[in-house]
């Protein structure tokens, strides 16, 4: 991963929100703009046409994001391709406790399986650990979302526990898998090693 930190003038330091972007191998993370909303709503519609709501789909993520918007220190980011700057998804962060952050990510249905989520997550982790000085990231993933569980394991996250989620018992997702990665684990796994 090549991460280019934003120039000081490209960041609103009051809330640490990118206006220029952070660059990974395939994607660029930037602040969500009003023009993005139409595309993000389109992702919701595409997910709805795929059938009943899937707990690993963009629709569930969009509903979660809408219910948990907090303008504090949390980031609301668009994910766009580096090649043609096409909007492919979004992510947001939250800070459940000091030193720890969490995130949610949604990739539009037609943009899945292209490595965008992997690159967006790695870019976000690099920024949050190296520039914001967080020490740990924790995420909750529905147990039925095998693709996301595999992705996070590949990125170096470790399972830390399972929580029953009574809100979704009828929908098939009976538990959340809590996974975490520390700044030290991320650095060991993702930063180039000196020879």
The model's pLDDT over 48-83, given as tens digits with 9 standing for 90+, comes to 666 544 444 444 445 445 444 444 578 889 999 999
C-alpha 180/C-alpha 183 separation (Å) is 10
> Residue 193 has what pLDDT?
52
pLDDT digits (tens, 9 = 90+) for 11-31: 333 344 454 568 999 999 999
What does the pLDDT read at residue 49?
A: 64
Q: What is the pLDDT of residues 77-110, one digit of tens each?
A: 999 999 999 999 999 899 988 999 999 998 888 8
Mean pLDDT, the chain, rounded, equals 78
Contact (Cβ atoms closer than 8 angstroms) between residue 180 and residue 129: no
Contact 106, 90 (CB under 8 A): yes
Domains and CATH numbers, the chain: 8-190 (3.40.630.30)
Could you give the CA distance from residue 26 to residue 138 in angstroms, rounded to a whole number? 24
d(CA 119, CA 27): 7
Write the pLDDT tens digit of every residue in 137-172: 999 988 888 999 999 999 999 999 998 766 655 555
Instruction: Give residue 114's pLDDT.
Output: 93
Residue 29: CB atoms within 10 Å: 23
């Amino acid at each position: 991963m090549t991460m280019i930190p934003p120039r000081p003038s490209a960041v609103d330091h009051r809330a640490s929100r990118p206006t220029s972007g952070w660059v990974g191998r395939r994607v660029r993370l930037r602040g969500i703009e009003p023009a993005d909303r139409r595309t993000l709503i389109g992702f919701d519609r595409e997910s709805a046409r795929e059938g009943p709501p899937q707990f690993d789909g963009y629709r569930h993520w969009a509903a979660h994001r809408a219910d948990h918007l907090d303008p504090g220190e949390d980031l609301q980011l668009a994910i766009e391709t580096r090649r043609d700057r096409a909007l492919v998804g979004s992510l947001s962060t939250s800070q459940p406790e000091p030193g720890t952050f969490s995130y949610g990510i949604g990739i539009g249905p037609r943009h899945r399986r292209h490595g965008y989520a992997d690159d967006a997550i790695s870019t976000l982790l690099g920024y949050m650990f190296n520039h914001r000085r967080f020490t740990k990231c924790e995420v909750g993933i529905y147990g039925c979302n095998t693709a996301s569980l595999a992705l996070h394991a590949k990125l170096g996250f470790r399972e830390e526990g399972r929580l029953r989620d009574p809100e979704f018992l009828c929908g098939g997702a009976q538990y959340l898998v809590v996974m975490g990665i520390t700044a030290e684990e991320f650095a060991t796994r993702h930063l180039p090693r000196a020879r």
